[in-house]
Amino acid sequence: MIEDLQGFPDDVVAFACRGHVTAHEYQAVLMPRVEQALQQHDKVRVYYQVDDDFTGIEPGAVWEDIKVGMQHRRHWDRIAVVTDVDWIRNTMRAFGFLMPCEMRIFPTTERARARDWITSR
């Protein structure tokens, strides 16, 4: 499940992933929010939280994630990934160099620090 998190500035798209994530959720939840933010801002920041109850992601959702990232790569300002899921942390470290913006990975105990960083100017 992907949840659109509230309480962030309008140039920050913030999501939490829980349970099993599907491609449909990317299309129904994540994409509309990203498109909305990009209509208002040239650069958008991303706060992406993967909770401890995350159980996996459909291959189609992985493809949607890659498409979103690459399709808008010039529009990302910063990305904060908050997770204790090892394979996600390792994947982000391995492929983070492909991102055209600063990206930081935070453990879940540092959610507040991640939020401060993604919203700071």
SS (H, E, C) 54-107: CCEECHHHHHHHHHHHHHCHHHEEEEEEEECCHHHHHHHHHHHHHCCCEEEEEC
C-alpha count within 13 angstroms, C-beta hemisphere, residue 78: 15
Looking at per-residue confidence, does 92 or 3 come out higher? 3
Task: Name 95's Cβ contacts closer than 8 Å, sequence gap at least 6.
Answer: none
Over residues 25-47, the mean pLDDT reads 90
pLDDT, one tens digit per residue, over 56-105 is 887 766 656 666 666 666 788 999 999 999 988 988 888 777 777 899 99
pTM, whole model, 2 decimals?
A: 0.89
The domain defined by 2-116 carries CATH number 3.30.750.24? yes
- For 120, the enclosing helix (H) or strand (E) is none
Over residues 25-43, the mean pLDDT reads 89
Over residues 15-23, the mean pLDDT reads 91
Is it the case that residue 115 has pLDDT exceeding 90? Answer: yes
